[in-house]
Structures are given as structure tokens and as C-alpha cells.
């Protein structure tokens, strides 16, 4: 039977599990990360682990959420940076978001083949909550941009529909050789920024709904 922990011990162990989980998920991926290795690194038994999380997938969701919180804070802060004009400022924010995303391996697992594995092993409500958090972030990003003098004219749903395909493309950047897609992605990001500001005429993005889990 797992040892009973004090509240202080529980808080420390949760923090250690999040830290060690982040390291191992980034290094090995979701499927190859082992609960025994996680608990050994933290210094608790496997049985004790399940008093904190029902599965390694549940731990992964918390690790990913913590990583996304830090990602979102940095992106929102970048909106306040000065620039020559709104398009240059918004382009800078979007390019920063792409650079940051590529430095956080655990977040990239959401858009690789690990996602299918994850979706079969955690409740659908947990994935839906994560996607709602993404939608809330887009809403916060647009609101903050407008407050800081970047007059975005599209909806959060439309912004998501533009950003997600670019993120998926960026994950395969290395498959084409170093730097091959970089210039193309930078140009696409600039075009997205121009579209967000109503500076590019194109067919409107219609029937866009928030993303749903598979």
C-alpha cells in the first residue's frame, strides 16, 4: 500500500513528477516513457505514482499544460514590443511563437503521431479541455493585440484555422534539409499577419469552428 504523504510532500512530489516527466517525454516521446523510470527518478514507488496520476498520459497532459502556460506568457508579452507598423509587430509576434514552439519538444508531441496514441488513452473531455484552452489563448491574443494598437480584423477561430496548418508544416521543416522551408514559412507568416489586419484581399475563411478532438 502506498505511503501516506503530507500535503507538503505531495506538492513537492507533484513538482518533481512534472519536471522529470517533462525531461523524459521530451527525450523518449509519450509511448516510450516508462512509469518505473519516472518513479525511480523521483524516489517514489510505482504504486505511489498512481495516487497522483491515473496514467502517464494524465501526467503528460499536466506537463504539456505547464509548458503551454509559459509559451503563452512569452507570446502575449511580445505583443507589447514596439515596431514600425502593426504588420511588422504582428509578424514579429507570430515568428516568435513559431521559434518558441520548436524549443519545447513536449508540445510538438501534440501534433505528431503521439496525438493518436494519447487520444485513445485519456478521456475525450481532457483533450477537449486542452483544445478549449488553445481557443481561449487565441481570444486573449487578439484582444491584447487590439489593446496594443494591432487592429486584427478576423475572429479567433479564423486565426486558429490559419495558424494550425503552419505549425504542422513547421514540424516537418527538418525533413527537407536545414533552412529549405524557413524562407517560405517566414513569407507565409507575413502573409497571415497581413490577412489578419485586412491588408490582403482573399476569399473569406468560412464555416470555421473550434477544433474538436479526434
Which pLDDT score, from 0 to 100, does residue 167 have? 80
Phi, psi of 116 (to 5 degrees): -65, -40
Residue pair 190/197 in contact (Cβ under 8 Å)? The answer is no
The span from the first CA to the last CA of the chain, in angstroms, equals 37
In this structure, of 5-19, 84-98, 123-137, 167-181, the range with the lowest mean pLDDT score is: 167-181
Residue pair 122/165 in contact (Cβ under 8 Å)? The answer is no
What pLDDT, in 10s, does the model give residues 163-192?
988 887 777 766 666 566 777 888 999 999
Instruction: Please enumerate in sequence order all residues whose Cβ is within 8 A of that of 86, keeping only pairs 6 or more positions apart, or say none.
Output: 149, 150, 151, 197
Which pLDDT score, from 0 to 100, does residue 130 have? 80
Cα separation values, 164 from 15, 39, 48, 170, 203, Å: 30, 35, 38, 10, 18
Is residue 4 pLDDT above 80, yes or no? no
Which pLDDT score, from 0 to 100, does residue 214 have? 39
Is residue 50 pLDDT above 90, yes or no? yes
**Angstrom distance (rounded) from CA 63 to CA 21:** 7
**Angstrom distance (rounded) from CA 138 to CA 210:** 11
0.85 exceeded by pTM: no
- Give the residue among 119, 55, 95, 88 at the shortest CA–CA distance from 182: 95
Q: What's the mean per-residue pLDDT of the chain?
A: 86
Which pLDDT score, from 0 to 100, does residue 46 have? 92
Which pLDDT score, from 0 to 100, does residue 211 have? 46
Of all residues in the chain, the percent with pLDDT exceeding 70 is 86
C-alpha dihedral sign at 39, 42, 48, 54: negative
Q: Which domains does the chain have, with CATH numbers?
A: 1-53 (1.10.10.60), 56-214 (1.10.357)
**Angstrom distance (rounded) from CA 107 to CA 68:** 7
> Using a CB cutoff of 8 Å and minimum separation of 24, what contacts does 57-60 make?
57/30, 57/118, 57/121, 57/122, 58/122, 58/126, 59/17, 59/18, 59/21, 60/21, 60/25, 60/30, 60/33, 60/106, 60/109, 60/118
Which pLDDT score, from 0 to 100, does residue 213 have? 41
Which pLDDT score, from 0 to 100, does residue 177 have? 63
Amino acid at each position: 500500500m502506498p505511503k501516506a504523504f503530507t500535503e507538503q510532500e505531495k506538492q513537492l512530489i507533484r513538482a518533481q513528477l512534472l519536471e522529470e516527466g517533462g525531461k523524459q517525454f521530451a527525450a523518449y516521446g509519450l509511448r516510450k516513457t516508462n512509469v518505473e523510470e519516472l518513479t525511480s527518478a523521483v524516489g517514489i514507488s510505482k504504486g505511489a505514482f498512481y495516487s497522483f496520476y491515473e496514467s502517464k498520459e494524465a501526467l503528460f497532459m499536466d506537463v504539456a499544460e505547464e509548458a503551454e502556460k509559459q509559451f503563452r506568457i512569452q507570446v502575449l508579452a511580445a505583443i507589447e514590443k514596439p515596431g514600425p507598423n502593426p504588420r511588422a509587430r504582428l509578424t514579429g509576434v507570430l515568428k516568435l511563437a513559431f521559434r518558441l514552439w520548436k524549443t519545447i519538444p513536449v508540445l510538438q508531441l501534440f501534433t505528431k503521431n503521439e496525438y493518436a496514441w494519447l487520444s485513445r488513452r485519456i478521456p475525450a473531455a481532457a483533450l477537449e479541455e486542452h483544445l478549449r484552452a488553445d481557443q481561449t489563448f487565441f481570444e486573449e491574443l487578439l484582444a491584447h493585440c487590439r489593446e496594443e494598437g494591432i487592429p486584427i480584423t478576423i475572429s479567433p477561430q479564423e486565426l486558429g484555422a490559419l495558424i494550425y496548418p503552419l505549425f504542422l508544416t513547421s514540424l516537418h521543416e527538418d525533413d527537407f534539409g536545414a533552412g529549405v522551408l524557413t524562407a517560405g514559412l517566414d513569407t507565409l507568416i507575413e502573409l497571415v499577419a497581413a490577412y489578419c489586419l485586412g491588408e490582403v484581399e482573399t476569399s473569406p475563411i468560412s464555416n470555421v469552428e473550434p477544433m474538436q478532438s479526434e
